[in-house]
Structure 1
Amino acid sequence: MVEATLNGFIRRDLVTDGPVLIRVNGPAEGPVPWEAAPPIPISDARALQTGELPVHDFLAANGFVLVDHVSQVADWDSGASQDRDTNDILRTYMPEVEALIRDRLLPGRRLEIRQGPYLVRRGPGSNPYAQGVHQDHGLTPDDYQESLEAFSTPEYAKAWRARYDQPDVAGFMVLNFWRTVYMDEALQHMPLTICHPASVARADLVPAALVDFAPSGKNTNQLSLRYNPDHRWHYYPEMTTGEVLVFKIFEVFKDAPEGDFKTVFHTAFAHPDTPADAPERQSCEHRVGVFILRD
């Protein structure tokens, strides 16, 4: 157990009549919505994930799971602009991830998996660490469709919605595959902390929209969080490149009870015991859409 300061909580007294508009460097308009929270206890998720439950059952119960996985990817910076012959993400990582989903994370279910041949890199020389508590994409199919349009095209977003609305589709989720890369040592600098969704009350959720973030210039939907001492925060100490943390960043099921919250708030945090000479974190995120089909 450690205690650390987490940023990005919304003031409990803030009354909203729509999404809180947020720029990366602060609010877009209106009163400053942020609230300072006391140091937050963050428990060791390795102690929670003891191996008594299979990987797929642990993911279903908690919204996150750590999976042993040694990838054969050599170039984590390859991406959509590269030819197939030189794109390790397309040729190697995407098949690895699909196998993980079908064999270990969602075994025995009828699935349609949607991956892109790119990922988000963070660390020196790439994107900065995301140091604000958030959940990606919001709560509803409309939220996801709007965000998808902001990052792609209206036609692509409409095609996703048309597939989601088909009667053979039971639901849809987005899984984030988060791992360290290019690191010879176990991670100590700026690890990721995750909030157990069962500890998040509906009243804690605050719809938010990122302004001037997507390449289209359109707002993207996500959720912000009001601080609550009942939240249960976890992290996996000293992750290695042979492990991948999988967590849900969006989920909707057509027959799910209203108010059933299953996705994971998360943020990077400064671990108080990080040695001064610890290597800076190098990591990547691969976000994968999965349609769950009816049996």
Structure 2
Amino acid sequence: MVDVRIAESAAVRLPLAGWVDAPVNYLADLSIKPVTYNPPHGTGLPRRDGNYRDFTVRIHDARPITRDLSLDRQAFILTRHDTHVRDFYDEEEVRTKYHAEVEALIKRETGASKVVVFDHTVRTADRAVERGLRTPVRSVHNDYTEKSGPQRVRDLLPPEEAGRRLKKRFAEYNVWRNIDHEPIEMAPLGFVDSESIAPRDLAVCDLVYADRTGEIYQGVYNADHRWFYFPKMTRDEAILIKCYDSLKDGRARFSLHSAFDDPTSPANPRPRQSIEARAFAFFD
């Protein structure tokens, strides 16, 4: 059974400030096995199998409690993070500049001895498909599973190093940020406090690509989930999301997140532009 949270008696109840009520897209149940079929970039939108439904949830403003958040309890944090990248749509600049910035950020926030940034995705709500980009993900999910986390390490590292690293603690983090020069108005990212996630809430979903099949977790609806977000994120902020942790000592190991429509957004919001970088952190 997947262990995702610390014992309820030890859970930290965060103080709640402002909130919005908004629909998010969950699996209602497991009557249909969830599968997502992903076409090549720029050729269309993903197609999904599964009994998905929108559920209205209360999403709390996490800005007043930013200092109380922990990667090992809630599985997400907000931090200030300046960047020297001028154009996030320039693939070469992102790989040469931003990956190094993300590596340094994760080392700073986690104390990892080695960080490998292996992927990034630029998303926009403005003509994404025709521009060869991806749209915001509007389903409650987590990027890695008990199986796919270690497998990705084996895919990335030489066999000898992978075997050595897999014997010690390692974790996968996503670093998410707004890449517009104005604050986000459309489709902000919401997060479930990992301490409110039960093992049954994580359903394995196959990700089918043209050349391979991977897997992620899709969230199954649970009325006990505690949702948070950071309104009006700016370009000098970053969110770290822990999507996998190999250590089974009671800390958060997985998380759930989704884009949603903020009812306080302007009537004609600027299309969201964002980037998420993915990285493994290895600990001695």
Q: Please, what TM-score do these two structures have when normalized by structure 1?
A: 0.77
- 2:114 alignment counterpart: 112
- 1:153 alignment counterpart: none
- 1:11 alignment counterpart: 28
Structure with the higher fraction of residues in strand conformation:
2
**Separation in 1 of the partners of 2:156 and 2:84?**
35
Shift of the 120–5 alpha-carbon distance from structure 1 to 2, 3 Å rule, reads: same
2:93 to 77, 88, 96: 88
- 1:25 alignment counterpart: 47
Shift of the 228–269 alpha-carbon distance from structure 1 to 2, 3 Å rule, reads: same
CA contact (8 A) 2:169 2:246 kept: yes
**Separation in 2 of the partners of 1:235 and 1:121?**
20
**Separation in 1 of the partners of 2:162 and 2:261?**
39
- 1:66 alignment counterpart: 78
TM-fit CA distance, 1:158: 7.7
Q: Map 1:142-157 onto structure 2 (within 5 A).
A: 143-146=148-151, 148=152, 157=155
- 1:209 alignment counterpart: 206
Segments of structure 2 that go 5 or more residues without pairing to the other structure are 1-18, 38-45
- 1:165 alignment counterpart: 163
- 2:90 alignment counterpart: 78
Q: Map 1:1-295 onto structure 2 (within 5 A).
A: 1-7=19-25, 9-12=26-29, 14=30, 20-23=34-37, 24-27=46-49, 32-37=50-55, 39-49=56-66, 51=67, 58-79=70-91, 87-103=92-108, 105-107=109-111, 109=112, 111-116=113-118, 119-123=120-124, 124=126, 125=131, 126-140=133-147, 143-146=148-151, 148=152, 157=155, 159=157, 162-166=160-164, 169-181=167-179, 183-212=180-209, 215-216=210-211, 218-253=212-247, 256-257=248-249, 261-293=252-284
- Per-residue CA shift, 1:101-156, capped at 9, x if unaligned? 223x113x5x221123x52111124211111111112123xx2355x49xxxxxx6
Segments of structure 1 that go 5 or more residues without pairing to the other structure are 80-86, 150-155
RMSD, matched Cα: 2.5
Number of aligned residue pairs: 252
Same amino acid, percent of matched pairs = 25
Shift of the 233–162 alpha-carbon distance from structure 1 to 2, 3 Å rule, reads: farther
Helix, strand or coil for the counterpart of 2:52? coil
CA contact (8 A) 1:178 1:245 kept: yes
- Per-residue CA shift, 1:64-97, capped at 9, x if unaligned? 1111112010121222xxxxxxx32233222222
